[in-house]
Amino acid sequence: MKYLILIQSNPQSLAVWETMTEQQRTDFGLGHLRLTEEMREAGVLVVSEGLGDPALATQVSVRDGKTITSDGPYAEVKEHLAGLYLIDVADLDEAIAWAAKAPDAAYTRVEVRPVLDMSAWEI
C-alpha cells in the first residue's frame, strides 16, 4: 500500500530552525538525504521531494473554459507543505516507522496519509 509522508513548515518548525546552528541545519538536510537513500535501498521509496517556497507557487483554475493563473505571493499562511516522501509498504505500521525516521519528527510532527488506490475505477 502506498503512503504519503508529509513534511510541514509551520511556526513551531520555523522556531526550531531559527535556534539551529549552521552545522545542525546541514545535518538536518543530510538526514533527509540519508533517509531517502535508506528508503531506496529498502525498496520502499517511490519518490521523495522538497518543495519550493509558497511565494514561488502558481495557482491554476479554469473558468468558462479559460485557464487562469495567479502567481504568488499569496496571503501569508502559518503552515505549508515543505516536502514529501511517497512510499510503498505493507501497512500503516511500517509507514509510521519510516515517518519516525524523518528529521522533522524529532522537532515537530510529520503526517502519514494513505494514497487512494483508484486502479479499479472505470473511466
Alpha-helical regions (H) of the chain: 11-19, 22-42, 92-99
Mean pLDDT of 3-16: 91
Backbone angles phi, psi at 104, to 5 degrees: -65, -30
pLDDT in tens, 13-48: 889 999 999 999 999 999 999 999 999 999 999 999
pLDDT of residue 11: 84
Tell me the percentage of the chain whose pLDDT exceeds 90.
70
Pull the grid cell for residue 85.
Answer: 516522501
Backbone angles phi, psi at 29, to 5 degrees: -65, -45
Residue 87 has pLDDT above 90, yes or no: yes
Per-residue DSSP letter, 90: S
pLDDT of residue 74: 63
What pTM does this model have? 0.85
